[in-house]
Structure 1
Amino acid sequence: MRHRGSVIIIEEGKVCLIKRVKNSEVYYVFPGGGIEEGETPREAAKREAFEELGVHVSIEDLLDTVSFHGTQYFFSAEIIGGAFGTGHAIEFTKNNNGLYEPMWLNIEALCNLDVRPKEMAQKIVNMYI
């Protein structure tokens, strides 16, 4: 069981997601990852945004937590620097982990895609639409 910190970044009606293709399965996740020893969920979310997206973020409110193989913390965040799409997380380079593709999608698209966790996707739709 591993706890995770994740960011929800929304700009101009679009939400940042990572498209995953693994074992012929296509789904989308919010940028984030495991909380390291001595790190807070907020710090992990900030670090993971840089590693996965290549951007520095300002962490804002805790939007929600979801229990799934540990606690997942979801923070609203704003990009304050860096270059989107230049992430260098180790999972991006491991062939056995499949495709990781950072992208912007219209919030409405969350209703028709396999976004994980579904609880957060629905919460964002409810907040913005």
Structure 2
Amino acid sequence: MMRHRAGVVLIEEGKIALIKRTVNGKVYFVFPGGGIEADETPEQAAKREAFEELGLRVEIASLLTTVERNGFQYFYVANRVGGRFGSGNGAEFTSGDCRRGSYEPVWVGLDELNGLDVRPQEVAALLNKS
């Protein structure tokens, strides 16, 4: 089933906000984001997901890129306008479903991206070029 998704690329002081995922002993990183609901634009979904996963209110600055994989994934450059990092309370933090692994909001130095498993890699590669 195709599901469109939206995510944010939030960079502050040379660091990027990512979600550290640990599933079955494997660690990787994803951009904060998730599925676009039927009544949302991609931009609205990205803002909602940033609040749910990071605890931050953001404004969308621009579309960085779109990745096509089981639907379209929109990645937006965003700026923080409020909230407290790490205070997200989305379903991924409250469901108690340990089969989905853990979700941890983290700041990662842009200079560290090359050494990490960041998904989707196409978006991380764009950031390494800038």
Scaled by the length of structure 1, the TM-score of the pair is: 0.96
Q: Which amino acid aligns with 2:46?
A: A
Unaligned runs of 5+ in 2: none
The equivalent residue for 2:14 is: 13
Q: How far off is 1:84 after superposition?
A: 0.5
Root mean square deviation of aligned Cα: 0.7
> For 2:86, what is the secondary structure of its paired residue?
coil
Question: Map of 1:37-52 to 2, 5 A cutoff?
Answer: 37-52=38-53
> For 1:124, what is the secondary structure of its paired residue?
helix
Unaligned runs of 5+ in 1: none
Structure 1 residue ranges, 4+ long, deviating more than 4 angstroms after superposition: none
Distance 2:51 2:81 in 1: 11
Scaled by the length of structure 2, the TM-score of the pair is: 0.95
Distance 2:48 2:38 in 1: 13
Match of 1:118 among 104, 118, 121: 121
Q: Which amino acid aligns with 1:81?
A: G
Distance 1:62 1:29 in 2: 17
What number of residue pairs does the alignment pair up? 127
Q: How far off is 1:10 after superposition?
A: 0.2
The equivalent residue for 1:108 is: 111
Q: How far off is 1:92 after superposition?
A: 1.8
Q: How far off is 1:69 after superposition?
A: 1.2
Question: Map of 1:12-91 to 2, 5 A cutoff?
Answer: 12-91=13-92
Distance 2:83 2:122 in 1: 29
